[in-house]
Structure 1
Amino acid sequence: MLGAITLQFFLMYSQLTTLEFRRSGQILSNEMKLLLAMAPEHLDYVIRERSTDDLRIVVNEAGIFTASHQPVTGDLHMWPEGLEADGQLHNIVMEPEEGTPYTLRFLAERTPDGRVLVLGRSSHFLKEQKLLLRRVSLTTLVPIVFFALLAGVLLSHRALARVKDMHEAIDRIMRGDIHERLPTGTQQDELQRLAASVNRMLDRLEQLMRDMGNVGNDIAHDLRTPLARVRAGLERAISGPQASSPEALQKTIGRAIENLDQCFTIITALLRLAEIDNSKGRNAFMKVDLVALMRDAIDLYEPIAESENVVLLSHASEDVIWVRGDRDLLMEVLANLVDNAIKFTPAEGKVSVLVSMNGGRPSLVVTDTGSGIHPDERAAVLTRFYRSDKSRHIPGSGLGLSLVASILRLHNAELLISDVEPGVPEKGTCFTVLFPNERTGHA
């Protein structure tokens, strides 16, 4: 601010000097034209009596000289040193017998009768204006600086008070109060936007912590059942009446292995979910042929479908449809969807897989004729460990669809769940995977 005031002062100072020089030159030129137009006798009278005339106000010095620079009349009794009668303005320093030197602007021109008319104007008007400007600037500078400093102190105190409140809130959060949030005011400034962003981040962290707690509870619940069955079976094998029977022990050990395998399946799926959620490896993506991917999945699950007496069909366009992604992860998506469809489709049912273009976007569609998913449960089935009541009797960990959702998030793909026959969930489920436009194309 002080720099701006100083710059403004110097600009005004220089403009005053330029303006006064131009103004004094115009005044001298105009007076010179007016006087030269007079008759010689009248000119002598005007110059001689100018102290009682308005000419005294605009011209400080005036005199008529001979061609040899001898004074004729007027209050200028000596030819200024360095002055030329060329009709041009000259700045000449006058040195009086007493007092300090001063500067006059002179204009000298020849009259029609051969003499020389000299007019001079002092720069004391400019000095007065500059003195006034300096005094006004100094007078206004003090209150301006004072109020600027006062405003700066008040604003900084206000901002620091808000920062202090934020620090106190952060300290409470660090002590374990995860429900605490940074204070936000009504001011639409950077601090308010920062506090709002941090609060959104804290909301997300709180949600993640809540989800982690729920996952821990779900893990404990899902692992407790098979482990309890293993313990109960082993206790019966040791203390039961058939403890010495090799066949009973072998059967007990087989069931224990099955239950432990279920535990390992849950743990492996959770580790796989964590690996995918923490993955940043989109740089390793490459072109994946969805049609070839579908054929590999069909070859893998066709024997399983036959053993379950389920018809497995596939449909694809003749063109090669490709997306950018990780082929192994996309194979895992398709395998989970097909396995889920076969698992929940009764005997004599049908599962179909379709690869096509949907609105310019590559799509992967898996439909079945199973028991369907109620619309209220379609968001929940994508979360970890969720299992609907009608699927409790079917073996599984409840992690397959959450694994599919995580992989598709990594690929910026969209998963839609709908009924095979709209409005009739009991007739089957349709899973539609839509891949993004910018990562697709036709080979």
Structure 2
Amino acid sequence: ILMELGNQIGRSVEFVAQERDVQHLADDMNRQYLAYISAYSQKFKDEYTKKYVAEAPGKILNKIDQIREIENSLHFLDPQLLEQINGYLDTLAMAVSPPERQMWDGAFKNLAFLLEKSIVDAQAQTQRLLVRSRDITASAIRGGILLMLAMLVLSGGVAYLIAKRISRPIAHLRQATRYARQGKYNIRVPFESHDEIADLTADFNAMMDALGELDRMKAMFLSSITHDLKSPLYRVRLGIENLVDGIHGSLNPEQMRTLEQILKDLDTLSRLIYDILDLQKLESGRFELHLEDVKIEDFVRETVRKHAISFADKGVGLAMKLKLKDAVVRMDVRQIERVFENLLSNALKFTPRGGKVVVIGGVDGDYVHFVVKDNGPGMTKEEAERVFDKFYRASTGKNVSGTGLGLAITKQIIEAHHGKIWVETEPGRGSEFHFLIPLAG
């Protein structure tokens, strides 16, 4: 059963990689179609444009055929989903010549949704297989223990050697599956035998290699695209600010409101880009901390007071209960301030008008212990286990603005200071975010 699970996991990972390739091919096809539409709609076309308009439909249809061929070769794909994908590919083909933009956009949007759905379903299946593998491994361990007890009655020492040989590689696999669930794909299980468990170990390590490569490619893509976006965003912002400042002429009130809203949206996008870049640096160990000794109580009071106006505007109370005396912490001031900003902003988003947020701090052995406590909707146990994951949004936060990176960055910052962070919460009873930072010295 474990070998078959390993094979299924391998096929699932391979399927996700192939579907990602199809997504890239589809995106390239869509960009080509939009360029074709733009050229086709020009009233006066030069010879180059006419040639491009004549050749583009064939190239687009060729990409549609490539996608169709790949999808039809994926045995892991649900037949009903494959039929829908082929249907939308047929619609895209009909929208090529003559070009029908509305037909194309509708079909491409549905195709992109189905491709993403197939990947999400496959990843969910992989997760279920990993959980099942863990459960079977746990059952095998329990069975091994029972076998050991029976053999102890019969032959003592022989049973001990057998149980040790069986349980150790299985325990390693079980531990490795836990790391896989946390997104840590650099763990490899050592080979300790030459039997079926060794085959399963090989399949598991191959799966971790594939998942690690996918995660690395995703990180490289995010890093690359965020770097490439910074300069264009800066130029866009500079141009809009020039318009707002009246450099290119006066604006009416409606135009001014529109541009100011665009600037706010650019600020949001810029924050997302810098959050992604900072998270990549933190995860790779390339983030440099500027450490200094700080009297922590004064620092916390000043930092929390900065948020008093935003809390008052929403009608949410903000209080502090600090018993830090003369405690000194060696820390990066800007980054720990960022931790408080993320936790307080998060608490404000989820606390209803009339609610209250309390910041509690005290000395706990060799650490300072902080708690940011709110009386918002709270979370389930399953949501609390994933709340520090990148881009994760709990069910109560689906309609709340944010990038989904704040808590992930917060966790990385605390761990970079050799601290620890966790959450205590229950549905309907609010949340308490705890974190520890070592005292100086």
Fold match (TM-score > 0.5): no
Q: Which has the higher strand share?
A: 1
Q: Which has the higher helix share?
A: 2
- Structure possessing the higher radius of gyration over alpha carbons: 1
Q: State TM-score, norm by structure 2.
A: 0.44
